[in-house]
Amino acid sequence: MSATRSNAGNAGEGETPPGASAIDAVYRFLSSVRFAIFVLSCIAVSCIIGTLIPQQAPVQEYLSRYSPSTYAILRFLGLTEVFHSPWFLFLAGLFVVNLFFCSLARLGRFLRGQREHRLPTEKALEAMPHFRLKGKGIEEARALFRGYRQAGNDERGMVLHKGSISRSGVYVIHGSIIIILIGSLLGLMFGYRGTVTLAKGETKDAIMKQGTSGSPMALGFSLRLTDFQLSFYPNGEPKDYVSSIEIVDKGEVVRKADVRVNHPLGYGGVSIYQATYGSDPAFLFDIGGEKVRLLQGSAYRKGDLTIMAVRFERSIHNFGPGVLIAYLEGNETKTSWFVKDVPRLREKDLMGVPVRLDGIESEYYTGLEVSHDPGVGVVWTGFAMILFGLYINFFMYERRIYLLTTPGGVLVAGSAPRNREAFREEFEKRREKAHGTEQ
Amino acid sequence: MALNSKILGIVTLLYLCLFLIHLLYFATKKERFLRVMWVFLYFTFGLHSVGLIFRWVESYSPWTWISWLSLPLPNGPGHAPLSNFYESLIFYSWCIALVVIIMRKKLKVPLITAFASLAALFFMGYASLSPSVDRQIQPLIPALQSNWLHVHVFTCFIAYAAFAISFLCGLFYMFSMRGMPPKETLEELNYQSVMVGFPMLTAGILTGAVWAHYAWGAYWSWDPKETWSLITWIVYALFLHARFARGWKGRKIAMLSIIGFGSVIFTYIGVNFILSGLHSYGSPR
């Protein structure tokens, strides 16, 4: 059994025979298995480097590991972002070229082999597993091999075959690898990825694009977070996080859905994924008898008083959590700390208005990932094809049966180049059946 | 102690017995011991499966008694035992036994089955004895709550198990001595196991990619685990092409299967210990 047709005989491929033109030599080199082994090895080594050196990490991380000069060299060689470096793309390109020419060079031979259905000589057949059906005709022998298709016949006899599709497995596999790479290239060229964080009730119409620049990008519609639910197991591990999203397109709510991990939402060519979550403090104030919920950085105005929550501290000199409030007195900005657990620091008069910090809550926000990848369908097609190719290549095998009319009856012989042992067993069963019917 | 732990403890001892039966065979060369060994292997595999099923069932605890149905119904957050390092180790042992059973017709090489049972014993023992392995049933974190978990882990670990057989063949080929199975048998078995492992690894990587697309929004993100699975895939692709298209034989091929398994172990365990990434569920802690 062999995964590909055994080409061990032409071990000299890739070497130029004398008298061939330069173009021919290049073609032979590009289509050689030797070159394939070389390119694949290079890709494997690059991958190893790409996991040993941190990829696309912040500069500080590199400088904590390497000296500045080493870092400069790594950066110059593209080793800090191997998988996005031009030379890695070049290697992938070489791989595709090789895969293409390699398959092309063998396709001709393969197609010729598919049409090759000549009956070997009696002597050649006797070297294969064989038996003789004395005094029987070709048709009676044919009946023994149900499930086999007739490949060819002449006055001397008949050729039957089964599982020939397995020989095309290699081409299906190689073709689908090219398709997958084309699909991923489509994604690289025309796709984008970004993140957006939304607090409850917040609406945003742009995402922060991924990459070093991190520029905002308009989506063409808005996302509104109507609710965010977080649940935990008793051991404190997260159990589920659900963002209830509304999609607002041209001022109208066109879609309402819950986005959860493993359950993205698709809209207008983009997919929206639950990626992370976090929490910001929210401060519950009583301002002159009015209940107000202030987020960090948000302001509130009551009469002459404008106040803003500037800074949150988890613990102020061991007195517990507190928030720094800024307010305007005339044209002057003044600040004052409110500490939740200290009564004297919890209630203050600011410009004659009694202000009291009633509590501090966690305001959860959700981190969504938004991506657009026009190549996904192509990649999925490649995946399905490669699985089919692997199945026919590794779990099916080609069998041929030769029926030769001889003076004494029919000589039945068979061969399976790739799975001799299993074939011998099958052939033996058919032989027993044939001789069983004889008696 | 939970019932599944007791069963899996017994299974660990059974793998030890399995190895001892092989030693008896090597000492006496009586075919009878081999027949006993195969029956014993089926039994061990069966009990191992029962242990895994019990762990699966117990993960749903507490069960609540529904009186009007007269049935207990699961009340806890249950999941297949494929979610942490401990569970992956006992599942890996199970897969090694399964691959030996699947390849039984070709695996008429007692030396390989002996060391396959030793490997199963090693992973079971490491899982149940190592102080750095958490053996509790933990609830499933959101990223793992997907049906892709089953097919992804199953295909990957069947591949890893087949590559373990290939590794043993390569290893014994390199250090073959008198009284060992003929080199041709080892070489042939080496190809056969890679031919099981390679399609399964491919399926494992692809199902992982589809799952990553739904869970993380990208089918490939060059996460260390992904990258190392690709490296492993390339090594075995090289193995197949070197063998079948270039006609490599002997020590070179044996060496490739040893390198390949090194890459498998690094993908499975090394990545979690040394590199950090998205696949940290399999970490010892």
Are A254 and A229 in contact by the 8 Å Cβ rule? The answer is no
Asked whether residue B38 is domain-assigned, the answer is no
Asked whether residue B119 is domain-assigned, the answer is no
Asked whether residue B192 is domain-assigned, the answer is yes
Q: What is the pLDDT of residue B64?
A: 72
Q: Give per-residue pLDDT as tens, A42-89.
A: 999 999 999 888 888 888 888 888 889 999 998 888 888 888 889 999
The CA R_g of chain B, rounded to the nearest whole Å, is: 20
Asked whether residue B179 is domain-assigned, the answer is yes
B210 vs A contacts (CB less than 8 Å): 380, 383
In angstroms, the CA B235 to CA A45 distance is 11
In angstroms, the CA B168 to CA B254 distance is 9
Chain-chain contact of A383 with B238 (C-beta, under 8 angstroms) = no
Chain-chain contact of B222 with A55 (C-beta, under 8 angstroms) = yes
The domain containing residue B228 runs over which residues? 141-278
Residues 6+ apart with CB under 8 A from A233: A239, B77, B139
Asked whether residue B118 is domain-assigned, the answer is no
Q: What are phi and psi of A269, to 5 degrees?
A: 85, -5
**What is the value of ipTM here, to two decimals?**
0.89
Confidence of residue A14 (pLDDT cuts 50, 70, 90): very low
Give the up-direction half-sphere exposure of residue A146: CA atoms within 13 A in the CB hemisphere: 4
- The alpha carbon of residue A277 is apart from the nearest alpha carbon of chain B, in Å, by 13
When CB atoms are compared, the residue of B139, B199, B220 closest to A235 is: B139
End-to-end CA distance of chain B: 20
In angstroms, the CA A60 to CA A63 distance is 5
Q: What pTM does this model have?
A: 0.86
- The alpha carbon of residue A2 is apart from the nearest alpha carbon of chain B, in Å, by 6
Residues of chain B with pLDDT below 70 are: 1, 62, 74-76, 276-285
Structurally, chain B folds into a number of domains equal to 1
Residue A404 has pLDDT above 80, yes or no: yes
Residue of B94, B77, B89 lying closest to B132 (CA atoms): B89
In angstroms, the CA A439 to CA B47 distance is 47
Residues 6+ apart with CB under 8 A from A10: none
Interchain CB contact of B142 with A (< 8 Å) = yes
Residues 6+ apart with CB under 8 A from B188: B106
Chain-chain contact of A7 with B227 (C-beta, under 8 angstroms) = no
In angstroms, the CA A165 to CA A4 distance is 13
Are A343 and A358 in contact by the 8 Å Cβ rule? The answer is no
Asked whether residue B25 is domain-assigned, the answer is no
Q: Give per-residue pLDDT as tens, A199-253.
A: 888 888 888 887 656 678 888 899 999 999 888 888 778 888 899 999 998 888 9
Asked whether residue B213 is domain-assigned, the answer is yes
Interchain CB contact of B198 with A (< 8 Å) = yes
Residue of B28, B176, B37 lying closest to B100 (CA atoms): B37
When CB atoms are compared, the residue of B209, B220, B247 closest to A11 is: B247
Asked whether residue B84 is domain-assigned, the answer is no
Look up the CATH number of the domain holding residue B267: 1.20.120.1770
Q: What is the pLDDT of residue A211?
A: 66
Task: Report the amino acid identity of residue A394.
Answer: F
**Greater confidence, A6 or A255?**
A255
Q: Give one DSSP letter per residue of A307-354, joined into a string.
A: EEEEEEES-STTS--EEEEEEEETTEEEEEEEETT-HHHHEEEETTEE
